[in-house]
Amino acid sequence: MATPPAGKTSKARWALLRRAIVTASTPAPASSAMSIFQFHDPAVPRPTVYAGATPDVGYDWVEYTLPSGGASILLHQRRETAHVSLHELAIRDVDNTGNIRTWPSEDIALRYLLRTLPSRTGGPARVLELGAGMCGVAGFALAAACASDVVASVTITDGNQMCVENLTRIASMNRSRLGRPVETALLQWSRHLSPPSSPLFDVIVASDCVFFEAYHDDLLHTLRTLLAVDGVATFVQPTRGGSLDRFLAKATALFTVEVQTSGFDAIVDATRAAADARLDPDIHLPVLVTLRHRR
């Protein structure tokens, strides 16, 4: 299918934000550009509502089984039928679509890292998740599933304070399920970000975070500032109207860039091979990008 113009997918993404603040009776736009295509592992049970804790209005506590085995984590997740207040969305310089839902790319990034991190050299990794949204699936799951000689610590961040408050609540609820310290923090990407006083991160993960092109320079500077000299940043997301390509065009000036369109996730490959007529590669099929500092 031909790549749609950037304006089409941009309008669709903003339509998702609008849908969260209008009445439930409003019909969804017909555009396929805002549809979601799942890449669920059939061998892993689907998330189920957890009745052992009281959620906020419009949320559920959901038990999420990890792809690596029988362990699970609890996520305080917004119901898909719930609506978001204008207050939650009215934050400048932040991509707030992570405040609406968890995107499929995060599950794919998690599966990839669970498979590849154990073979990483250099000792236990300090992991940072950028743009984690309301649930930080990848960060919390890595903290719960990885052995101590694979992952030393996990920091889960977002630029929206309400997201960070929810992430902090999830971290507290899962304290007994997590195998190492997990820090949650407010981090707004900025081209003026100063180097931290703490050690840099060996692994940075971000899912569906480069769609809004106004933030590309800020995100790249944030990566350059926080990624350790020998570290690797892993991004997973569809191309989305060429936004990924334009991000990578800027990234190549600062990083060594590797792009994989297949072979990094068996479920993605199987979905592509099935040739489902509903599948639009530009907005549904994720791409794996790894970034390393130029030497």
Q: Read out DSSP for 194-223?
A: PPPSS--EEEEEEES--SSGGGHHHHHHHH
Report the predicted TM-score, pTM, of the whole model to 2 decimal places: 0.84
**Residue count (the chain):** 295
Q: Which amino acid is at 201?
A: F
pLDDT at site 18 = 47
8 A C-beta contact, residue 24 and residue 49: no
pLDDT at site 214 = 93
Query: Rounded to 5 degrees, what are φ and ψ at 219?
Result: -65, -45
Domains in the chain and their CATH numbers? Answer: 6-42+93-293 (3.40.50.150)
pLDDT at site 155 = 98
pLDDT at site 49 = 96
User: In this structure, what token pair is assigned to residue 90?
Assistant: 């009215």
What is the pLDDT tens value at each position of the chain, 295 positions in all? Answer: 333 444 554 555 445 444 444 433 344 433 334 456 678 888 889 999 999 999 999 999 999 999 877 789 999 998 876 454 444 444 445 555 545 556 789 999 999 999 999 999 999 999 999 999 999 999 999 999 999 999 999 999 999 999 999 999 999 999 999 988 899 999 999 999 999 988 999 999 999 999 889 999 999 999 999 999 999 999 999 998 999 999 999 999 999 999 999 999 999 999 999 888 888 889 889 999 999 999 8
